[in-house]
């Protein structure tokens, strides 16, 4: 997997080596996330099972969306991000 946020295959939050691909911008943006590396590895607890799991918790999900946009904007413009994802997650 290519990820703009990670190089090691381990849970982004806890470092657990048993982990799974998560697309940071899902739904219709899943393909774009795949192509541009808007992905992280997450363990089961942080992916789908726990209270703070990204699929159960909007704050966790928003946190990753913001962080990923910030990282992308280190090398690209905001316009190009919004063009890809259709939305700006950061403060203006
Ligand atoms: Zn974890
Ligand atoms: Zn996921």
- 60-83: pLDDT as tens digits: 999 999 999 999 999 999 999 999
Do 52 and 46 meet the contact criterion of CB atoms below 8 Å apart? Answer: yes
Q: Does 76 reside within a domain?
A: yes
Q: Does 1 reside within a domain?
A: no
Q: Does 72 reside within a domain?
A: yes
Q: Does 11 reside within a domain?
A: no
Q: pLDDT, tens digit, for every residue of 8-39?
A: 999 999 999 999 999 999 999 999 999 999 99
Question: 18 C-alpha to center of ligand 1: Å?
Answer: 9
> For residues 7, 20, 37 and 54, what is the CA-based torsion angle, rounded to 10 degrees?
-110
Task: Identify the bridge partners of residue 20 per DSSP, sorted by sequence position.
Answer: 42
Name the band, by pLDDT with cuts 50, 70 and 90, for residue 92. Answer: low
pLDDT at residue 91 in the model:
85
Helices (H), the chain: 30-36, 44, 58-73, 78-85
Number of domains observed in the structure of the chain:
1
**Which ligand lies nearest the alpha carbon of 38?**
2
**CA distance linking residue 8 with residue 57, whole number of Å:** 24
Domain, as residue range, for 53: 20-85
Question: 75 C-alpha to center of ligand 1: Å?
Answer: 28
Q: Does 2 reside within a domain?
A: no
Q: Does 50 reside within a domain?
A: yes
């Amino acid at each position: 997997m290519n990820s703009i946020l990670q190089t090691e295959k381990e849970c982004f939050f806890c470092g657990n080596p048993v982990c799974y691909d998560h697309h940071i911008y899902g739904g219709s943006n899943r393909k774009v996330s795949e192509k541009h590396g808007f992905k992280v590895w997450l363990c089961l607890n942080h992916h789908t099972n726990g209270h703070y799991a990204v699929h159960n918790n909007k704050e966790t999900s928003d946190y990753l969306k913001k962080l990923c946009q910030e990282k992308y904007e280190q090398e690209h413009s905001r316009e190009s991000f919004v063009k890809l994802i259709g939305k700006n997650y950061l403060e203006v």
